[in-house]
Amino acid sequence: MTLYRTTASAVVRRALLGLLGVALLVTAACGAPAQGGGTTDTTLTVAISNNPSSLDPQAGPSGTDHVALYPLYATLVEFDPATLKATPGLAESWSFTDPTTLQLKLRPGLTFSDGSPLDAAAVKASLERYRTQTNKADLSNVTAVEAPDATTVLLKEKTPDSSLVLVLADRAGMVVGPTASNADFAQKPVGAGPYTLVSYSPGDRLVLKRNPSFYGTPPPMENLEMRIITDPKAAANALLSGQIDFADNLDANDMPQLQNSGKLTVESPVGLWFDMIYFNLAQKPLDDVRVRQAINLALDRDEIIQGTVNGQGEPARQPLPTSHWAYDKANDAIWPHDVARAKQLMAEAGYPAGGVTLTSVATASPLEIRRNEIIRSQLAEIGIDYRVQSMDTNQGVSLYFEKQGTNAAQYAWSGRPDPGQTYNRLFAQNSYQNPGKVAIPGLDQVLTQAVATEDTAQRAAAYARADKLIADFAPYAPLYFRGDVTAYSTSVTGYTASLLGKPKVAFLDKKSGA
């Protein structure tokens, strides 16, 4: 196809026209580097690609928030970055005392950053608050939380659910302090992470300082500054000029320049983060399964990867990448690129001559614009007019998921530590990510079976059955798993890429004088 290449190139040219201005704006926003080209010896400076939707971990819905939340909040459970296997956090151990009771044993003597005790009662209060929030689906199977003594927490479940352990390594396990009841908590967060918030200027930066009350080894850097740079080209320029020390979610097309600079370490690991088109299954034309299947067959995922991220990724036809233990090789052939079959399905759905409009929303950035222009040209081949509104991510999330103002949304799913979270959040009838509240026949039963055991082989077999049900129903259009282009100064040490794909930067170190 030549159409998308012409269109994508035009988009890139338009984007490049503004890059000099963007770079200058970022330079002004970031401030001048310290003598010698780096930031101060006591400060690590990190770029984040979006404003946090909230600094209250229980309130915000965006998966891009985690990089800002991890330094502020310790989690009940941690995980190994390579395997996502659960490891101790605030809870030094855990066990299922019966099939529906998870017992946590907390480390003794824990405190929040404001000095208040982080004991079982505080954990109970945090978990109970979480169950009233936007993301409450993560704890929807929990019926009660008990604190029989100062270091013991019991979570009672309706049905056996082994995924609960790693749920506590995510937002639900980010324990919030007693001031969470205050109306201004998101502006003055209190957690138990390695850093505390000094100031937050939306659209500009977060400034953090080391938390002297942190339970573990203190972070090596006294200060952590997170600069909000939404344009990946501007983030690359800031790296190259030494204004920042670390950035991820960069544009793959900038990799050669970053690699050739001699100043940076550059990586592109494929993790759980994948780009997709969310469907509102209650709105026309997406209420017809044949239209949803046709969209999936019309998409040339390899072409999208090449045209958008310079080949840095792998096609997505399931909610998990090939490196994950629950990936189902038998379902590799789901949704091949088949325009002829897609056109046949559109005709069967009553659209033989096209004339179908699909409204969507996406983030306003050159990379997202490139991707959606390619999608638009591919869907045009089967008679679908794909119309995308580009806007701030948080505004777009509200428009689609909460106001239901578009048929679809072209965003990413950022991944969760346990696959049970991913399948439940993306496909359960009453989840936030399913604004149409349409159930996939038979899926809930299979997902319940998948978490009823801790045996990974049995769980993987259940997810394979779920993948088949999902493919038949086509409730979304997965595109590709990103190679997360990450670059950091050669003076920075201690970074380990995670399969989860959400960088933990609190324990990075920077050589003196960098």
pLDDT digits (tens, 9 = 90+) for 127-146: 999 998 866 778 989 999 99
HSE (CB half, 13 Å, CA atoms) of 444? Answer: 10
Tell me the two tokens of residue 56: 């209250």
Q: Three-class SS of residue 366?
A: helix
Residue type, 25: L
**Residue listed under structure tokens 């990450």:** 486
CA-based diameter of the chain, in Å? 69
Confidence category of residue 86, pLDDT binned at 50, 70, 90: very high
pLDDT digits (tens, 9 = 90+) for 460-511: 999 999 999 999 999 999 999 989 999 999 999 999 999 998 999 999 999 8
**Which long-range contacts link 348-353 to residues 24+ away (Cβ below 8 Å)?**
348/290, 349/285, 349/288, 349/290, 349/291, 349/294, 351/285, 351/291, 351/383, 353/383
Dist CA 352 CA 354 (whole Å): 6
CA 314 centroid distance within chain: 17
Confidence category of residue 512, pLDDT binned at 50, 70, 90: low
Q: Three-class SS of residue 484?
A: coil
* pLDDT on residue 135: 62
Dist CA 466 CA 500 (whole Å): 21
Report whether pLDDT(212) > 50.
yes
Residue 26: Cβ within 10 Å count: 22
pLDDT digits (tens, 9 = 90+) for 308-341: 999 999 999 999 999 999 999 988 888 999 999 9
- Residue 322 per-residue DSSP state: T
**Residue listed under structure tokens 């509102």:** 280
Among the listed residues 341, 396, 339, 387, the one whose alpha carbon sits nearest the alpha carbon of residue 365: 396
Dist CA 213 CA 196 (whole Å): 10
Report whether pLDDT(17) > 50.
no
- Residue 192 per-residue DSSP state: -
Tell me the two tokens of residue 156: 């009672």
- Strand-pair partners of 48: 228
Predicted structure pTM score: 0.82
* pLDDT on residue 2: 27
* pLDDT on residue 394: 85
Least confident of 20-34, 144-158, 216-230, 490-504: 20-34
Among the listed residues 129, 92, 301, the one whose alpha carbon sits nearest the alpha carbon of residue 215: 92
Dist CA 514 CA 512 (whole Å): 6
Dist CA 366 CA 11 (whole Å): 7
pLDDT digits (tens, 9 = 90+) for 240-277: 999 999 999 999 999 999 999 999 999 999 999 999 99
Which residue spans within 244-343 are E strands per DSSP?
Answer: 246-247, 264-267, 270-279, 313-315
pLDDT digits (tens, 9 = 90+) for 228-240: 998 899 999 999 9
On average, the pLDDT of the chain sits at 90
